[in-house]
A = this chain, B = another copy of it.
Amino acid sequence: MAQKMNKTKIAEKRQEVINTLKTFGAKIYDQLEQGVFPTINMPSRSTDNINYDPKTRQYILGEKVVSRSARNIRHVKPFTQLAWAAMFSNELTTQRKTSTLRDVYYSAQAYEMTFTDQQESNNIITDLETITGFSREDFSIFPEERSAIFGDLNIEYTVPGYEGKTLNLTSHPDGVLIGPALTSAAFGSTTADKVIAIEKGALFTRFIEEKVYSKHKALLISCGGQAPRQTRSFIRRLHDELNLPVYILTDGDPWGMHIAQVIISGSTNAAHLRELNTPDAVWSGVWATDIVNYKLPTDPLDEVDIKRLYELQRDPRYQTDPVWQREIKMFLKIKRKAEQEAFSRYGLTYIVDEYLPTKLSGKK
């Protein structure tokens, strides 16, 4: 169990982010002062440098390094863009303003810094992540997507204007949005002894209505499909700081399975970052074997589904637990898929009354 981040720790982390950016800038200045063309080195993110690491149980970058030198005429533009991105990130973080990738692209124009398109500015932000080891959310650059949480956990805000204010996450029965204010909050007391992350908002609402949070002492999370990065690192914090096991419930198809996998093992796109994933989290269903055992209403797997299953079968993240391979095989055998809502064929509360307790008991 990691130490709970109190307000001081959270402020310290923010300071650490700012210091890292300053160090990055200072290095460039120092080189200029020494009369040499400044150079930046960072791990390569090319496919051949992305490896699955069984120890950290996620993708990480290998030894290959790329350089960007102001001496090289082809590097001058991305070099300058990167320096600007660091400066802008420093502004956002010190001024406690949040932004988005889209916003960064337009903001550059306020500084007469040109990007050909948003893809170019997105890449530069990823470079900055790679160099500093912090994620863009740490620099106050957030995605638009928001997921939600509900359950008995007291949090204390650290955002400007809300310092010291607290909220219990059962305050709003539609769920509490997981945005910049919540992800930067300190965790207080909780009676929960587990986290249940749910792919779909409809089931999240059902779980609230059926009081799963109190019956099963759970913090419920609505992922809203693929969980945004900030939600994935928030789940990691819940696991680490509160010492809570994490269960994931998705649709019974390759896409749902992979939503769970990315929460557990992270994505290749984030191989340059740590702590966005929760290796101890468990995919609890809907399994292919559940489709069979519970005789769920199904749709046929289409070609894209089947292609995806074969891809996943070879993916190293799917070698970590025999459940993955068993379920992939079963999907390929039955050639059917089922949604979480399919349990409603047994009545609205069946999934809560019957399916969930079996799954939480850890039966494989």
Contacts and interface: CB of A to CB of B under 8 A. Distances in A.
Copies of this polypeptide in the complex: 2
Interface stretch (A23-31, A94-102, A286-294): A94-102
A46 to B, nearest CB: 30
A133 interface: no
Contacts of A347: 107, 110
Contact of A175 (B105, B144, B179, B344): B179
A148 B175 CA distance: 11
Contact of A297 (B99, B109, B201): B109
B167 A172 contact: yes
A21 interface: no
Given A110-B346, A173-B157, A200-B144, A179 B167 contact: no
A86 interface: no
Given A109-B297, A167-B171, A172-B181, A144 B201 contact: yes
B175 A177 contact: yes
Interface of A: 96-100, 102-103, 105-107, 109-110, 142, 144-146, 148, 157, 159-162, 167, 171-182, 200-202, 205-206, 209, 211, 297, 339, 341-348
A159 B173 contact: yes
Contacts of A103: 202, 341, 344, 348
Contact of A342 (B106, B142, B167, B339): B106
A211 B159 CA distance: 13
23 contacts: A96-B209, A97-B348, A100-B202, A102-B339, A103-B344, A103-B348, A107-B344, A109-B297, A142-B205, A144-B202, A145-B201, A146-B148, A146-B174, A146-B175, A146-B201, A148-B177, A160-B209, A161-B211, A172-B177, A172-B181, A174-B181, A175-B177, A179-B205
